[in-house]
Structure 1
């Protein structure tokens, strides 16, 4: 691993356990954390009682806290699957704010896994969500999922995991662009992994941030379930496997910026909740992921 741009995490501490006050153990898997306009932090994520049952993941957990370290207050589920809308499950929410509203992108599945739905719900308060009346904003396969949205120049960019062909192939990080967060371009590819298949791959949970003059892509699970690798590029739309510059022992990792510092999360099946650790870049970070 090259030392230039090396990325490292500190010690993880548990910040939220969805099983508290429940008769069974519960997990949070892919999740998102956002700071509201009033300063309070909100967490949304895939949730289900243990053991893992991904195709029965039909609701999103919601909790909030005054600080990312807690204490976190558990709220009623933020969203439940809507079969009439065509959803078969709810996976991997990502929430951002723009134009006075909150936008939640998530994978809604559907009967055809080669054309899985990428759905959108909006809110003004982070508690009440309304699905986009036009249906999915786009479809992709195989099981296109795990959206993450940031700003690059004058456009919004959504990164998500998919395959090189809808029926399978190389695991990839795809991306689409938008000016309004509703209409999205045709897909392009930001990263192609040498591995192939369908189902879950090793390009899940993509998260892209800028540091100084470079862009960093976080993806996993690599090489094991609890593992995220980091890749560096001068181009936010082109990453290569040989440009690995970091490893974090985390599943479904998300990055947040709080109190002037970077933090990285971890969660997943059998992990007991959501964890948080400080994240270190070698030089001062010049730009945060856009959730503003």
Structure 2
């Protein structure tokens, strides 16, 4: 059995940056807490906890006066609450998420209804909606309006697929363009997402089974699994090497491995080692 890794997989620069900031802060100022997990990967969260960096679900659960903002960012309303409490902030917001926040604010201030192509419950999307100043909504399906807004601005959750975003935008052009006075689209999908999706598609053309390594609550990892499955290759999404079922590998000669942008190198190597062990 041949095992091939995708050309681009695992940690993106935004995740590495967030972890570096947190680890440096922990060394310099001691243990600290993050508002929610810094990234959607349990192994990363567990590793940071061993370094004294632990996640809390809300400001009410915070202990101490230092709080880290996760790579997903927060809304200006949450930022104001943090400052009102006099907390020291360690900000690890991904630069691509920051760009989406700025785009949402500028569109809203220019009089557009901001539509975010993304998962409404995702912390990144909730934060971005906050920057839209109450003039936004999030959805993965084209919304239906009783009265179509005259000006619509469309942006994307940074980890959504390009193909999905393109279809979403096309739905407005195809059915609602005549009723709009202005439609503005800002591509806020991050480069790492595009690179990993393209590499996964290329890998899917060369293998007959793909293992996607990443947190199940990771939007970009789920997106990779969806893209690979849609390409017609047998696909399994796992978080850890121990989840691999030997039965998956029967009658497969070429196995591909890819991983989401929040998946650590160690998790990827453990999966590859397990696949090699099962091939003995």
| Both structures adopt the same fold (TM-score exceeding 0.5) | no
Q: Larger helix proportion, structure 1 or 2?
A: 2
Which of structures 1 and 2 has the larger relative contact order (alpha carbons within 8 angstroms, sep 6+)?
Answer: 2
Q: Larger strand proportion, structure 1 or 2?
A: 1
Q: TM-score, normalised by structure 2?
A: 0.29
Q: TM-score, normalised by structure 1?
A: 0.29
Largest Rg, 1 or 2: 2
